[in-house]
Amino acid sequence: MSSRSEVPGTMEVTSPLQQALSAERVRSARLLNLLRFVGVSAFLALVLIAGVILRQHDWQQTNLRFFFVYWALAGLVWLVGRRSPTVARLAGLSIPLVDMPAVSVLLWGVSRIIGDPGPGYIFASNATFLVLLIVGSLAALHTREVLLAAVVAIGIQTLFGVRAGIPVLSIAFLNLIMVFAIVGCIYIIRRVTALVGDVTAAQVRRERLSRYFSPQVAAMLAEEPAEQSAGESREVTVLFSDLRDFTALAERLYGAEVVALLNAYHERMVRTIFAFGGTLDKFLGDGLMVYFGAPVTQPDHAARAVRCALAMQQELARWNGERAARTEPTLHMGIGIHTGTVVLGSIGTAQRREYTVVGDTVNVAARLQELTKTVPAPVLVSEVTRRALGGGTSVVAAGLVQLRGRAQPLEAYRVDSVADRTS
């Protein structure tokens, strides 16, 4: 579940967690950019109303050029950031490099307008705004941005204190408050990162499950603990399908046409498989391996498999009608089905595991599918599967068949219809 970087010319591989965090950083940064623009706009409007419209002399002393430049930059970052994730993410750096110095300068100017309430008031007010900006740097969800904002804030506040003649202990006390704010912000970032990681892991697991299981089964398994690596024995029904003479057809098509054809075919077949509660084990080129009865127990797994096989053939016939109308060649499919005991579990290496079934039952189903090339039957089932179907099933004996790799012949049957006993 990793993907390449979107930046052309790079080969960086990002994990789902990194992708989720990146998306959340962009959303948070865009919100911060909007809040910055709204805040600066509101304050600029206050200055214009008081100084220009009401003509209050003290407010007229405000440096409007500085205000307009700050307002224009805030608006530009907000507008461009709505389209560019890269610009939006600059919000984390703009706080220590732009907002903190700008707010401090503005606060110093406003303090003169309202009557110079004293250096202690300016010092404490500036510390409050700087702490708020440190909290705002959380939008970046990066520890380094918070630390940069903290260093700049402590530097500005210390400079303010020294210039205003604030006692050293008072400067140290307010800087200590900032340090606590920084620690809290870093803790929040790590908690958010951990929570996003948990949510992303659950989403990735559900997406992986949805590749192999029907949506209902995938939703159920997603709520259970992580799959166990230990195998278990289970009676299931295995289904193999394969397109006939596909290699010859593919030789007459371009590569892109082959891929498009297989994707369209698999889309229809997998949809049918999931409708009957089957588990898609793997794609085999133009073939499929499917099993019924696991991981969720299905007492009627043999009947489900056979009904699914007949539905797959019907779906292929409908698609062939569409293809014939476009003068495209028709497709033919053979399906082999066998019921028996398998070993079910997560099999593979530490780097790559696959939830699958193994055993002689799998081999027999695969060999029956191969026999549909010579036996005139689109669906062949074994004697074991036929017995599991029960009454009401229309089957025709195909006789004893010799399976590749087996010494004893096997009784095979073709199925025309099966009784619907799904519980």
CATH fold for the domain made of 215-417: Alpha-Beta Plaits (3.30.70)
Its sign, for the CA torsion 95, 101, 102, 107, is positive
Q: What is the pLDDT of residue 2?
A: 44
What per-residue confidence (pLDDT) applies to 3? 45
Identify whether the C-beta of residue 339 lies closer than 8 Å to the C-beta of residue 357: no
Kindly report, as residue ranges, where domains of CATH 3.30.70.1230 are found in the chain.
215-417
Give mean pLDDT in consecutive 10-residue pieces for the chain, a chain of 423 residues: 41 56 75 80 75 59 69 82 75 76 72 55 75 75 78 84 79 82 81 74 64 59 53 91 90 90 93 91 90 89 93 95 92 95 79 77 92 87 90 76 78 76 46
Tens-digit pLDDT profile for residues 24-82:
777 777 877 788 788 778 877 776 776 666 665 555 455 667 777 878 888 888 888 78
pLDDT for 423: 40
pLDDT of 4 reads 44
pLDDT tens track for 253-281 = 898 999 999 999 999 999 999 999 998 88
- Distance (Å, rounded) from C-alpha 74 to C-alpha 88? 11
Residues 292-328: pLDDT tens digits?
998 888 999 999 999 999 999 999 999 999 999 999 9
List of residues 6+ apart from 329 with CB closer than 8 A: 249, 323
Q: Which residues of 114-130 are buried (b: 16+ CB within 10 A; e: fewer)?
A: eeeeeeeebbebbbebb
Distance CA 128, CA 130 (A): 5
Going from the C-alpha of 49 to that of each of 46, 54, 114, 221, the distances in angstroms are 5, 6, 15, 62
Give ∠ CA 147-150-153 in degrees, rounded to 5. Answer: 155
